[in-house]
Structure 1
Amino acid sequence: MPVATPDVRPVNPCFSSGPCAKRPGFTPDILANAMLGRSHRAAEPKARLAEVISLSRSILGMPADWRLGIVPASDTGAMEMALWSLLGARGVDILAFESFSEGWATDIVKHLKLPDARVLTAPYGRLPDLNAVNADNDIVFAWNGTTSGVRIPNGDWIAANRKGLMICDATSAAFAMALPWDKLDVVTWSWQKVLGGEAAHGMLALSPRAVERLESYTPPWPLPKIFRLTSKGRLSEGVFKGETINTPSMLCVEDALDGLRWAERIGGLPTLMERCSTSLAFINDWVERSDWAAFLAEEPATRSCTSVCLKIVAPWFTALSAEGQAKAAKQLASLLEKQDVAYDIGSYRDAPPGIRVWAGATVEPSDIQALLPWLDWAAAQVAASFAHA
């Protein structure tokens, strides 16, 4: 059935899941005061790096006894540092339920080759059995599955008297979801997600338990320079004061600071979370009325409020071959991009064919509202094209 072309377009058509939309009101002029051409070890640039750390701590409500540092290579670098530096002291359970958490499982099993590693898996759209984890083991998991739209609903499943470390990839959850700091030991994220910063830098947060592990345990494998967090058996405290292991981009630092200052101005974490929840509520109401789209995440409590992944359930689509489904989903995303309505909303390459809408805090909920009728329009266009094929 034909669908009329919507009258209203999103003001900002950037719905990519990373790098994500810049914060409302952003212009490149904001970066004019970046410390370009300066050494990151000089007093003023180092103060900017330290401000990224202090503002992040403050907005997230991180406990005072945690360390937070800026590290190389985005969230991936932060997670690899944690895995290679901390694992091996005891058994490890890995929760694998989407692409990135599956990647951590591959690193641990095939590259670190830990003998006491156990992978708890679930297909796209579901979580593994959280109650099956062994609290005596280290636990590696993503809080939010960026490629599946499935998130951990809460920390109730984490034992308070655990012996192992909880190592959490929170890159599309930090600044958007409530993280139970008392139940976690390592938390990582990148600048490019919820606050819309530019890529290449990661954040590594360590609890006192994680610091104790670093200072009491030496992995049996060699560590590259960019992974080394200790010197002579003691934590390298400078990393957590703005003394980065490698040279950071001061342009990216200025951009990250702008996002953090914006977050502080609008009300901090409660407001950031509210913006994400409002966008998810708009999508939820639309999905309930839709005859062709559904959440990939099966349980409502596990549906992400940042990387919202949708599957196509219309009979014309489900009747297609796997190749046909992939082609149709790609066509839908392409139509929206050609209309300058939505950029980069195709599902992740390893995920089931569908669409992925970033609804993080830098996205205006009003733009999510404006997008939804366009999804119906594009789906109708694609359905018609396949009907006549």
Structure 2
Amino acid sequence: MAATPAKPSTKPSSPNFSSGPCRKRPGWTFNVLEGAILGRSHRSNEGKAKLREVIDLTREVLEIPEDYRIGIVPGSDTGAVEMALWGLLGARGVDVFAWESFGDDWVKDIAQELELEDRRVFQSPYGELPDLLQADPSRDVVFTWNGTTSGVRVPDADWIDDSRTGLTICDATSAAFAMDLPWAKLDVTTWSWQKVLGGEGAHGMIVMSPRAIARLTDHVPRWPLPKLYRMVSRGLVSEGLFVGETINTPSLLAVEDAIDGLRWARDIGGMPALKARCQENFNRAAEWVSRNDWCDFLADREEIRSQTSLCLKIVDPDLTGNVAEQTKLAGAIVAKLAEENIAFDVGAYRTAPPGFRFWGGATVDARDLGLALEWLGWAYSETRRANANG
């Protein structure tokens, strides 16, 4: 095999490349939390003002239409998605598209928990995308915009019919604030704070179109709804949810952190700047992959590769088909990168093919990512050499 490249001399300024919770914004310190309303009720005027600020800043940065409702909900993105599934589905047939672990979870919810008989499931393995043109505009559609665990995203929303009569329910947790979300095509959109803006966990966001809001009162699910999923009270939409009156008690410390991330996003230039930072990270990764023939993107097609979830696979011909050896090798490399304080939490998702996953969202600096990938190349060669001599 080729000689091991020289050990890089420069380390990233931050080794945090986890895909969730993700790296804090550049320049973040604990001082940004000093304005948090601690020891107070989230239902106080001050507490509700903070929650409303999150909603207002979210609308501003993401350019969400004024007639769309925005809510802060419990349970991270999972809670937000399941709130939509439990509260809205069942009025008509549903098409579900899945190509990674979280999409698979929504399939299980619909098939095994809600037991919807009129369902069609379109699934693809890691690295591929189902045929989105199979979506029927008369049926509800559930899909993930960006596959966090697969590095596969939808290239656009052209496959969603403007004259549809069903609802589109989109899990956008690793796409929001990184990719264009065409609101006119999306009836329910969800994400969590700990992704692209590097917020804290446990809180989710849900954005609902007027058509989705109408479904809440036009359709009564046949299954019981837990309190955490209820968006309707006495036949009327719980409007307080969409002005900061949360269903359960949020962390006002996490709220303050979310406000800081949103203000940063606004102040650097909003969506154009956020997308540019993500694209720069992707370009840095693509350039590195082009120089390293042992590694490639998990997604073979360029147009479906994620700019945030940079999922890589081992394509060394000596290891082709040997999943056990690839898994062992990848694990050793991930451990070496952590020991060197180069990159933390960069192993592939547990159900994905063996390889690596670097977060490339807007809070990650492209220079840091480039340095980490150079170290990845060194760690690969060093580990392969050690195994050959061992």
TM-score, length of structure 2 as denominator length: 0.98
Shift of residue 7, structure 1, vs aligned partner: 1.4
Partner of 2:373: 372
The one-letter code of the counterpart of 1:65 is D
Q: How far, CA to CA, are the matches of 2:100 and 2:42 in structure 1?
A: 36
Residues 149 and 311, structure 2, Cα contact 8 Å, conserved in 1: yes
2:28 is matched with: 26
Distance 2:156 2:168 in 1: 14
- What is the distance in 2 between the residues matched to 1:49 and 1:15? 28
Query: Percent identity over the alignment?
Result: 56
Residue 248 of structure 1 is matched in structure 2 by 250
* Corresponding residue SS for 1:21: coil
* Structure 1 counterpart of 2:216, one-letter code: L
Match of 1:291 in 2: 293
Does structure 1 residue 230 correspond to structure 2 residue 219? Answer: no
Deviations 1:329-369 (A, max 9, x none): 11111110000000000000010000000000000111112
CA distance in 1, matches of 2:383, 2:119: 45
CA offsets per residue over residues 26-47 of structure 1, 9 Å max, x none?
A: 1112112211110000011110
Contact preservation (8 Å) 2:288, 2:370:
no
Gapped regions of structure 1 (runs ≥ 5):
none
**Cross-structure match for 2:341:** 340
Q: Distance in 2 between matches of 1:16 and 1:156?
A: 31
The yes-or-no answer on 1:218 pairing with 2:220 is yes
* Maintained 8 Å contact 2:346/2:357: yes
CA-to-partner distance for each residue in 1:247-286, whole Å, 9 max, x for gaps?
0000000000010011111111110000000010011111
CA–CA distance in 2 between the matches of 1:113 and 1:24?
45
Secondary structure (helix, strand or coil) at the match of 1:284 reads: helix
Tell me the equivalent position of 2:150: 148
Please tell me the residue identity of whatever aligns with 2:34. A
1:59 aligns with: 61
Q: Secondary structure at 1:68's aligned position in 2?
A: strand
Tell me what 1:302 maps to: 304
CA contact (8 A) 1:4 1:377 kept: yes
1:325 aligns with 2:326: yes
1:178-231, Cα deviation, whole Å (9 max, x unpaired):
011011100000000000000000001000000010010000000000100011
Distance 2:366 2:235 in 1: 48
Who is 2:202 aligned against?
A: 200
Distance verdict in 2 for CA 1:319–1:122, change over 3 Å: closer
Shift in Å, 1:92: 0.4
Q: Secondary structure at the match of 1:7?
A: coil
How many Å separate the matches in 2 of 1:312 and 1:71?
39
CA contact (8 A) 1:79 1:169 kept: yes
Identify the range of structure 1 (377-386 vs 145-154) with the bigger mean alpha-carbon deviation: 377-386
The one-letter code of the counterpart of 1:186 is V
Aligned to 2:51: 49
Query: Displaced runs of 4+ in structure 1, greater than 4 A?
Result: none
2:14 is aligned to 12
Moved more, 10-19 or 25-34: 25-34
Alignment check: 8 A CA contact 2:145 2:171 kept: yes
Native 8 Å contact 1:188 1:202 kept in 2:
yes
Give a deviation string over 1:103-145, Cα, whole Å, max 9, x none. Answer: 0000000110000011101111011001111111100000000
RMSD over aligned CA atoms reads: 0.8
The answer as to whether partners of 2:153 and 2:306 remain within 8 angstroms in 1 is yes
Question: What is the alpha-carbon distance in structure 1 between the residues aligned to residue 254 and residue 386 of structure 2?
Answer: 43
Gaps of 5+ in 2: none
CA separation in 2, counterparts of 1:302 and 1:206? Answer: 26
Residue 381 of structure 1 aligns to a residue whose secondary structure is helix
Asked if structure 2 preserves the Cα contact closer than 8 Å seen for 1:19 and 1:193, the reply is: yes
Matches of 1:246 and 1:171, distance apart in 2: 21
> Which residue in the other structure is 1:157 paired with?
159
Mapping for residues 264-283 of structure 1, pairs under 5 Å: 264-283=266-285
- Structure 1 window deviating more from structure 2 (13-22 vs 285-294): it is 285-294
Distance 2:36 2:142 in 1: 36
Distance in 2, matches of 1:30 and 1:17, equals: 23
SS in 1 for 2:377: helix
